[in-house]
Structure 1
């Protein structure tokens, strides 16, 4: 009886016509945490594509106490995320292709060991190694001080442990899996944000969806920002790899990036002494506001693509960090509400959004691992269709100066 009622509750909660089974792994309100835990399609006696879900509590070094959830699909993707680190994605693998990168940060660092204010607000870098990290939500962008407050690099969400973590598996084929986490940015006299994050995955698929819902719980309007900092290294990133997206305009983030404006969409081999180059992009979209961006290897037979809604995330940042392999050879595709300038600049230039009391804003992105030339060509064709006959406009002047 209890199982039936729980299934009905989940069905109503997610507005889906199918029943589902759910497991609560963490709940701060009741002080509950399951620690090490696992389940599989075989244990659940589910037909269709086999899968397993496992949570592990890590030990040793700066990852002491960090939790990692790994979803494995035998014929699809293996996706690892950390409830301890903002429900962010650590890496995704499938068909011999990895979505992720090799950071010098080689542990899943517990936020308890990170001081965001160190190095004049760059402490966020002490834990940065994710495939996708949420930058936000109270603010994001480069650090800046104003009125006695230090706005640290890329906000707090990525170093906020989830207060509640749930696993939901549909009873009926294709057995969609949802991994949900509640992030709280609650500060007295400041932000009162609650964000439900959700990873959606159908076993056997080469795509997965991130669906987040940000709610302003306070009685006052509240500014917000979000950048989905999505990072890719080898084997996709290499010499002559390409970035593709339909864009109206491209501008350099700063004077250093102006040097690479002519070749903004192609990549070098690992290069000693290469500082990061960042480009501000204005994406083009279809009639529904949907667009896509991707990074593709030199042969055009593997890559990673991100589809997003420009009504929710109107801007796109391209981060090129083709330094040495040990230093961090990586590129970032970053859909967002804003660019990566400090929040003070973004507010001055009108790119900071606001939520009214009780208002909720959703963000939905779909990531696809491009496993072969056919998958790559499909995305390339979509980009060409959206780009149309007009080439991107290259603007030599940065939008702002830090």
Structure 2
């Protein structure tokens, strides 16, 4: 039924679709803002402005899509920047953004002690706004926020994020514009840590991907090269496997990776442009209680900033320079 016809049957659009904002008030999540988004056609997801406008819980017609760590949703006030302290407040969720000036393993670079995966997901957004409105005969949910990573005498990067879903379409469109608002060149690394979990992820699931090249991170991953598209039941003492895919794009640069579960009748797609994000890291973790598939578009290989700099492959944004990334997460029934 046409959306405007639906309005004749209801007193408030939130009966069927819309955004609900609130504040979490328990445990590690206390005092965090949240937006619940219902696109009206089965897809539900939650945006956390205080974690860089990242996306935590997500489901489709009652089926969970995302993996949540034992930490759950965690206020960034508890962030531990040293070493692997990032893991102590990593909640997983549908999207955790890594960057903006470094990601990957800890290192010391240019005099900075850099922890795992960077600070981005622990930075609260400012100028957060629900800009949802009618666009012709369609209703568009639009959430916006600005995240700045910078400090005195240091690098200064600003990310302006826009999250859009059109009612009736099971899609999340994320558009990020990153700008160097400082007066010296800054490293720029970004990775979209998309964490898929049970029941979408199970031994019944299969990864659909067609990379130009796949490189295992280490010997453990090399032993699983023939099986990176397939998954098994949770195993005790499973060692994580990480694969780096160099993605093929069409004539306009667009590419896609999908997780298919025929038993559920669901396919989740991640679409992006290789001109913006040429790499896709695959984090395959089949452990008991730690059962997750990370599909992670990125602008660099997942290496420390020190290593990227030494290899001459560290991206840089010059003063006032901007780049834009667009990522679409969609769900469809088979």
TM-score calculated relative to the size of structure 1: 0.77
Within 5 Å, give how 1:100-179 maps onto structure 2: 100-106=66-72, 108-117=73-82, 120-146=83-109, 148-171=111-134, 172-179=136-143
8 Å Cα contact 1:323-1:329 kept in structure 2:
yes
Within 5 Å, give how 1:360-375 maps onto structure 2: 360-370=322-332, 372-373=333-334
Q: 1:96 is matched with which residue?
A: 62
8 Å Cα contact 2:18-2:141 kept in structure 1:
no
Aligned to 1:175, what secondary structure does the other structure show? Answer: strand
Higher strand residue share: 2
Larger Rg: 1
With over 3 angstroms needed to count, the CA separation of the structure-2 counterparts of 1:268 and 1:351, relative to structure 1, is farther
The structural deviation recorded for 1:47 is 8.0
CA distance in 2, matches of 1:95, 1:63: 25
What are structure 2's unaligned runs of at least 5 residues?
1-6
The structural deviation recorded for 1:164 is 1.6
1:214-257 C-alpha deviation (Å, 9 max, x unpaired): 01001111110000000101111111421111211111111221
8 Å Cα contact 2:80-2:88 kept in structure 1:
no
Task: From 35, 48, 51, give the equivalent of 2:17.
Answer: 51
Within 5 Å, give how 1:1-400 maps onto structure 2: 50-106=16-72, 108-117=73-82, 120-146=83-109, 148-171=111-134, 172-297=136-261, 299=263, 301-324=265-288, 326=289, 328-370=290-332, 372-373=333-334
Alpha carbon RMSD of aligned pairs, Å? Answer: 2.2
The structural deviation recorded for 1:89 is 0.4
Aligned residues: 326
1:83-138 C-alpha deviation (Å, 9 max, x unpaired): 011110002222233221132113x2111112121xx3333442332210110111
Q: 1:36 is matched with which residue?
A: none
What are structure 1's unaligned runs of at least 5 residues?
1-40, 374-402
